[in-house]
C-alpha cells in the first residue's frame, strides 16, 4: 500500500496535464495481468499455508480487484502494489465465499420484522428441522400402516388442539392459504367483504388482487369505517359463495366505526347456507392481554364464533417458520385439500418439522419462554434496562459515547398496530457528550449494517438507537464488538 502510494506520488509530481495522463497510463500499465496476479496470489497462499481454491473463484476475485484498481487510478488515485492487490483479492475471495443470506443482529426492537425474517425459531424447532434435514423422514409415509401417508398429518392434531377446529392444513404462507381457500370455495362466484377490509398487507399482498387471482368476484359492502349486518344480508344473491372477513392487521380505524360481531355474521352466513372465512393474518394463539398488550383476536375465538375457515401465518405471532395455516370444519378443509393448486402451495419438510415443534411448544406451561417471539414480548422494561446499562457501561469504557434512554418497542409483522411495549434503548452518541455533534447517527447506522455480523439499528434524529428486546443474550458480545468497531470507523472520519 505504502509503496504504491509513494510511486504514484512520484509519478504524479508534475501538475502538467499531458504528464499527468502519461503518469496515469504508466500506472495502468504497471498493474499485473490477471495471470501474473493469479500466480502471485497462489504463491502467497502456498507460503501462508492457505487451502487451494477453485480456479473460477480466484479469477473472479482477481478480475474484480484489478478492475477496482484501474478505476482508482483513472480517478487520480495511486497504483496499488502487487502485495496490496493480493490482500484485496483475498478479501474479495472471503466475501465471495460468505453466504448472501446470513444472520444479522436485529437491534430495531421490532419483534416480527418481515425484512429481517420474522420469527426466530425455538431451539426445539431448530433441532427438529436439523434432524429431518439430515436424512430421510416419514414425510408422506404412515409408519403404522406401512403405506403412503399425508404430510398434513404431522400438524393436524396439534392445530386442532390449539384452535378447537375440527380439521387443519398447512401450506407455504398465509397468502397461499388465502388464495387456495378462495379458489376452492368461490372461484367464478361472489365473495362479500366489507370495504374497510380491502387491505394491503405489504409486499404487494392486496386482498382485491388475491381475490381476482383466485377467480372469485368481489362484492364490497359498507363504507370505509362502517358496515352493518344488514349490508351483508342485502348483498347475498344466488351467486354468493362466501363471506370473507379480513383482520385489518396493520392499521387501525378509530372513531366513528362499526362492524358486526363475528358470531352474528357467521349466524347470518349459515342461515343463508353460506360459509364464512376469517383471514386473521397474525393469529395469536394465546391472549396478548397477558403481556400488557391490547387484544389481538385469537384463532380459537374465531373458531368459537363459528367461522368455517380461519387462516393465519406461521411466522407472525405463532412464532414459527413461514407457513400458512388453515383451520376449520372438516368439510371446508376437505374441499381445499382436494384442489390441484394444493401441490403448488405445499409446505416443505423442513418447515413442517419446525412448525410441528412450534405447535408442540404451546402444549407446555413454558411456551412463553420457549418461543423467541413471546420471550421478546414478555421481557420487562426493567430487565432490558439492566442489559442496556451494562452494554452502555462497557461501551463507555471502550471510548464509545453511549447512554440509556427510555423508548418503545413494537410487535410488528402486521399485528397489534399502534401498540407498543416500553423499553430501554442504548443511544449513540450520548447527548451532551463531546461527540454529540460530531458523530453522524446515520453514518454510524450504516457502519453497523456493513459490519460482520450486520447490526440493524434505528436512527431517530441525531442518535442511533439499539433496542436489546430483539437481541438474544448470546448475541450481546457480537453486538458490543460490532458497535465498538463501527464507532471507531466513524469517529476516525470526524
Ligand X SMILES: *Cc1c(COP(=O)(O)O)cnc(C)c1O
Point out which residues bind ligand X (CB under 6 A).
173-175, 178, 201, 205, 246-247, 249, 279, 281-282, 313, 324, 414
The strand ranges marked E within 54-112 are 105-106, 110-112
Sign of CA dihedral 270, 207, 119, 113: negative
Task: Please give the full DSSP string across 392-438, using - where no structure is assigned.
Answer: HHHHHHTT---EEEEEEEEEESSSSTT-EEEEEEEEESPTTSTTTTT
Q: Which is nearer to ligand X, 282 or 464 (CB)?
A: 282
Which helix (H) or strand (E) element contains residue 486? helix 476-492
Q: Min. distance of Cβ 65 from ligand X in angstroms? A: 41
Q: Is 447 helix (H, G, I), strand (E, B) or coil?
A: helix
Q: Min. distance of Cβ 282 from ligand X in angstroms? A: 6
Q: Min. distance of Cβ 208 from ligand X in angstroms? A: 13
Choose among 359, 262, 275: nearest CA to 309. Answer: 275
Contact 125, 320 (CB under 8 A): yes
Q: Which is nearer to ligand X, 112 or 426 (CB)?
A: 112
Q: Which is nearer to ligand X, 191 or 400 (CB)?
A: 191
Q: Which is nearer to ligand X, 174 or 288 (CB)?
A: 174
Measured between alpha carbons, how far is 62 from 37 in angstroms, rounded to an integer?
A: 7
Q: Min. distance of Cβ 324 from ligand X in angstroms? A: 6
Q: Which is nearer to ligand X, 240 or 313 (CB)?
A: 313
Q: Is 61 helix (H, G, I), strand (E, B) or coil?
A: helix
Taking CB atoms, the residue at the shortest distance from ligand X is: 281
Q: Which is nearer to ligand X, 361 or 416 (CB)?
A: 416
Q: Min. distance of Cβ 242 from ligand X in angstroms? A: 16
Q: Which is nearer to ligand X, 326 or 357 (CB)?
A: 326
Choose among 201, 472, 409, 411: nearest CA to 324. Answer: 201
Sheet containing strand 309-313, strands side by side: 167-171, 324-328, 309-313, 276-281, 240-246, 190-194, 217-221
Q: Min. distance of Cβ 135 from ligand X in angstroms? A: 29
Q: Min. distance of Cβ 397 from ligand X in angstroms? A: 43
Amino acid at each position: 500500500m505504502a509503496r504504491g502510494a509513494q510511486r504514484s506520488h512520484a509519478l504524479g509530481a508534475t501538475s502538467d496535464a499531458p504528464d499527468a495522463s502519461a503518469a496515469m497510463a504508466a500506472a495502468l500499465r504497471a498493474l499485473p495481468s490477471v495471470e501474473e496476479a493469479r500466480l502471485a496470489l497462489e504463491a502467497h497462499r502456498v507460503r501462508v499455508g492457505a487451502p487451494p481454491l477453485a480456479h473460477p473463484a480466484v479469477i473472479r476475485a482477481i478480475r474484480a480487484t484489478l478492475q477496482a484498481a484501474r478505476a482508482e487510478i483513472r480517478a487520480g488515485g495511486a497504483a496499488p502494489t502487487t502485495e496490496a492487490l493480493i490482500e484485496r483479492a483475498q478479501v474479495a475471495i472471503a466475501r465471495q465465499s460468505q453466504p448472501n443470506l446470513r444472520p444479522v443482529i436485529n437491534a430495531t426492537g421490532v419483534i416480527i420484522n418481515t425484512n429481517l425474517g420474522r420469527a426466530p425459531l425455538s431451539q426445539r424447532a431448530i433441532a427438529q428441522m436439523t434432524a429431518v434435514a439430515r436424512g430421510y423422514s416419514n414425510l408422506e409415509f404412515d409408519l403404522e400402516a406401512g403405506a403412503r401417508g399425508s404430510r398434513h398429518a404431522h400438524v393436524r392434531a396439534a392445530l386442532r388442539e390449539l384452535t378447537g377446529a375440527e380439521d387443519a392444513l398447512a401450506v407455504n404462507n398465509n397468502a397461499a392459504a388465502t388464495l387456495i381457500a378462495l379458489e376452492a370455495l368461490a372461484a367464478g362466484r361472489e365473495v362479500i367483504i366489507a370495504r374497510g377490509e380491502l387491505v394491503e398487507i405489504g409486499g404487494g399482498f392486496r386482498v382485491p388482487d388475491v381475490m381476482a387471482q383466485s377467480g372469485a368476484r368481489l362484492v364490497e359492502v359498507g363504507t370505509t369505517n362502517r358496515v352493518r349486518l344488514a349490508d351483508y344480508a342485502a348483498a347475498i344473491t344466488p351467486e354468493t359463495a362466501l363471506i370473507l372477513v379480513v383482520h385489518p392487521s396493520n392499521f387501525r380505524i378509530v372513531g366513528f366505526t362499526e362492524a358486526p360481531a363475528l358470531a352474528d355474521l357467521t349466524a347470518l352466513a349459515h342461515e343463508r347456507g353460506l360459509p364464512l372465512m376469517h383471514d386473521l393474518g397474525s393469529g395469536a394463539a394465546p391472549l396478548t392481554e397477558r403481556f400488557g398488550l391490547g387484544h389481538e383476536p385469537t384463532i380459537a375465538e374465531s373458531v368459537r364464533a363459528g367461522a368455517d375457515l380461519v387462516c393465519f401465518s406461521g411466522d407472525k405471532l405463532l412464532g414459527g417458520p413461514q407457513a400458512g395455516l388453515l383451520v376449520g370444519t372438516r368439510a371446508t378443509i376437505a374441499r381445499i385439500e382436494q384442489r390441484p393448486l394444493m401441490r403448488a402451495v405445499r409446505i416443505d419438510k423442513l418447515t413442517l418439522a419446525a412448525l410441528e415443534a412450534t405447535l408442540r411448544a404451546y402444549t407446555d406451561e413454558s411456551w412463553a419462554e420457549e418461543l423467541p417471539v413471546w420471550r421478546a414480548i414478555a421481557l420487562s422494561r426493567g430487565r432490558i434496562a439492566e442489559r442496556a446499562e451494562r452494554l452502555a457501561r462497557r461501551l463507555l469504557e471502550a471510548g464509545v459515547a453511549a447512554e440509556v434512554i427510555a423508548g418503545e418497542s413494537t410487535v410488528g409483522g402486521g399485528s397489534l398496530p399502534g401498540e407498543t411495549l416500553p423499553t430501554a434503548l442504548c443511544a449513540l452518541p450520548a447527548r451532551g457528550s463531546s461527540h454529540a455533534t460530531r458523530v453522524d447517527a446515520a453514518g454510524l447506522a450504516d457502519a453497523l449494517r456493513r459490519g460482520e455480523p450486520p447490526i440493524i439499528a434505528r436512527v431517530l434524529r441525531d442518535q442511533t438507537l439499539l433496542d436489546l428486546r430483539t437481541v438474544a443474550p448470546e448475541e450481546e458480545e457480537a453486538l458490543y464488538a460490532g458497535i465498538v468497531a463501527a464507532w471507531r470507523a466513524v469517529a476516525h472520519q470526524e
